[in-house]
Amino acid sequence: MSESVPTNFIRQIIEDDLRSGRHQQVVTRFPPEPNGYLHVGHAKAICIAFGLAEQFGGRCNLRMDDTNPLTEKDEYVENICKDIRWLGFDWGEHLYSASDYFDQLYVWAKHLVSAGLAYVDEQSDEQIRATRGTVESPGSPSPWRDRPPAESLALLERMARGEFPDGAMVLRAKIDMGHPNMKMRDPLMYRIRNASHHNTGDRWHVYPLYDWAHGQSDAIEGVTHSTCSLEFDVNRELYDWYLDHLPIAELPGSSRPHQYEFGRMNLSYTITSKRKLIALVTEQRVAGWDDPRMPTLCGMRRRGIPPEAVRAMCDDVGVGRTNQLLDPVILDNAIRNALIAEAPRRMAVLDPIRLEIAGRDAAPEWIDAPDWPHDVPKEGSRRVPLGAVALIERDDFEIEPPKGFKRLAPGRTVRLRYGPVVTCTGHEVGADGRVTVVRCRQEPEGFDGKVSATIHWVDAALARDLEVRLYDRLFAVPEPGKDRDFREDLNPDSLKVLTAKAEPALADLEPGDRVQLERLGYFYAEPESWVPDAPALNRIVSLKDTWAKVQARTEAPAEAKAAKAEVVRTVRSLGAVGVALRDAGLSDDQAAVLEGDEALRAWYEQALAAGASPAAAAGLVVTELPRLGKERGGLDAVAFDGVALGRLASLMEAGAVTGAIAKQVLQVMAESGGDPAAIVAERGWSTITDAGAVDKMVDEVLQGHADRVEAYRGGRTGLLGFFVGQVMQRSGGRADPAQVKAALERALAGA
């Protein structure tokens, strides 16, 4: 293996295994579930599994984890294969499916039943969940747990024949209902699904769960190193238990695999939840799974991102034991590095205005223009025409240039890229106040005066129309859906379609070509929408990180500084307790806090016992309790308990009090205790639900800020937050913010 290959902990394990003779050949696998399309988060897992096999001369199996017939399709299988090949990997003859092993898995399931290590349970899903226990308390055994093996075996066979309806019973492993790892509390192995499977048809009526199929499939295929993302670390104990209690060695060609977990990779301003991605597609908020704005690999391919850029990003961020949330600028830079020597240069103008050059003939002069900049070791050029009238970008000219503006303005001199130096002598403005024509004179060759900048252009007479699609981030915030419905965080400017004016050489583009439009970015001639003689280009990436500039104009200075500094954020890894909390609906951060603080976790459990939902309870426990404890010198000095906190959380969730009022209630409770509902009633703090009262406050606020209303209607829509704050202040914090926002939007749009 080349010494230039960077090391990581999994590679070190493999090197040690080969050195010691534990394994003679490395066999890895990538096991996607064919219930959706692969996304950028999968790219790292693919690069690790296939990359390790390549580096050690082994093989990587591609195995479809097709254990749920209700959600899986051949369409997804085909596109998964296409995406992996696009990244540059191939599995050769080693394409498998978990469904290939259904017969063997069923035989092994009967083996565990016969050995008294599995049983058929007739409890409902709700009953099973209710008896699992919590991270602090053991579960309760099923009334069917001690069912005789022969009886369970007979029932399992009837389940497999389709004699029972969905949900009537399940097969569970018989391990330990008091185990600290909740994955070991008699996990489900089979469920009844009287549904047709895309691969096996109607043969089966029971289907294995992931944990039952995963390790055994690895063993059947001879996998030596089973890599998976960090959230599966709590599954490893169950993975090993199944392998330890099955006659794996009796199966020819099998192995005893081991599971190794690595930190996941995701991008900010992105979602990778399949449920949410499916919603975007089915609700037609995007143009399909392969929409170039989507984080799917097929979307990235259609946008024109080169696969080597994705692999370079995965290599650069490394393989570790912590999750990673990457700023998209890391991928953008990898794309630019990949394209700088691949994409020849061309010129196009997106928002043109006429530049009339005095003294030039109308007949064009053809100028030699290099395809590559001086620092790219490639040769080639094309000829670009320039007559008496050119087209330049509208934002390359200012009548009254602001400080720092270095392009064309009255009296200012610039160079036309590859062409002459010109000085502005005048301009014309249309009825709408926008510049329509810029007039200039051409300076003589050898001009030694001050040249402010070089700008790009195209000849007006010979310019070609070119459709340009300017793609940007699909979401406008770093963590979409963190505090609200993710749909509200969609970026309304994620796609702009323009008709640009292009130099004639762009007419020679072929489907799949990539070019750099000078000063505008890298672009891709997308084959999927190619029309002869009417080329269309997708912008892959801009030449600079323009998003950071946009954010700097809209964020508070401190927020902008923090966003710029946070290029890579590692997310604290979760243990068994944290994963269980996350599975209950908490965010990773909330789960990490509660896992690491037993005192706060006790408050959380009390709040749940009082009837609060996990999300509502965690919101108060994690966010508000530490602040109150700090103010009062410790949580022991707070005059209420977790039960009262849970009741307050339930009031918030029911809409009886707003978040702002809940904080005031907490202050009262911290001082003197009391029931939160009684405090709200006594002080008149219940949520204002009367629409007329809200509309009245909205009208009063808008009348008091007429200048800002005018600015909002003139395009400064960011002022909506100011108006919401003013109405909330007027209501004493009692108005529902969502209701206020909706009322404001109606009022501001209606005049």
Q: CA distances (Å), 239 to each of 48, 418, 511, 730, in order?
A: 20, 65, 47, 58
Q: CA distances (Å), 125 to each of 156, 225, 262, 550, in order?
A: 17, 34, 31, 49
Contact 208, 98 (CB under 8 A): yes
CA dihedral 588, 594, 597, 602 (to 10 degrees): 180
The two tokens of residue 103 are 């017969």
Give the dihedral sign, CA 354/355/360/365. Answer: negative
33 is catalytic: yes
The residue ranges of DSSP E strands in 492-639, in sequence order, are 495-502, 514-517, 521-525, 536-541, 568-571
CA 283, CA 736: separation in Å to the nearest integer?
A: 27
Give the dihedral sign, CA 582/587/593/599. Answer: negative
Report helix, strand and coil shares of the chain as percent, to nearest 5.
40, 20, 40
Catalytic-labelled residue, pool 82, 132, 274, 394: 274
Q: Of all helices (H) and strands (E), which one includes residue 118? A: strand 118-121
274 is catalytic: yes
Closest residue by Cα to residue 310 from 40, 623, 648 = 40
Amino acid at 237: E
Contact 580, 182 (CB under 8 A): yes
Cβ atoms within 10 Å of 411's Cβ, excluding its own: 9
CA 664, CA 140: separation in Å to the nearest integer?
A: 40
User: Could you give the 3-state DSSP secondary structure of residue 331?
Assistant: helix
DSSP letters for 661-721: HHHHHHHHHHHH---HHHHHHHHT-SPB--HHHHHHHHHHHHHHTHHHHHHHHTT-GGGHH
Q: What are phi and psi of 471, to 5 degrees?
A: -95, 140
Catalytic-labelled residue, pool 11, 264, 303, 647: 264
The two tokens of residue 671 are 């001082």
Contact 683, 712 (CB under 8 A): no
Burial classification of residue 466, based on how many CB atoms lie within 10 Å of its CB (0-12 exposed, 13-18 middle, 19 or more buried):
buried
Residue that is written with structure tokens 């749920």 in the block: 68
Backbone region of residue 229 per phi and psi (left: phi > 0; alpha: psi in -120 to 50; beta: other values): beta
Contact 551, 379 (CB under 8 A): no
Contact 502, 577 (CB under 8 A): no
Amino acid at 59: R
> Catalytic positions, please?
33, 264, 274
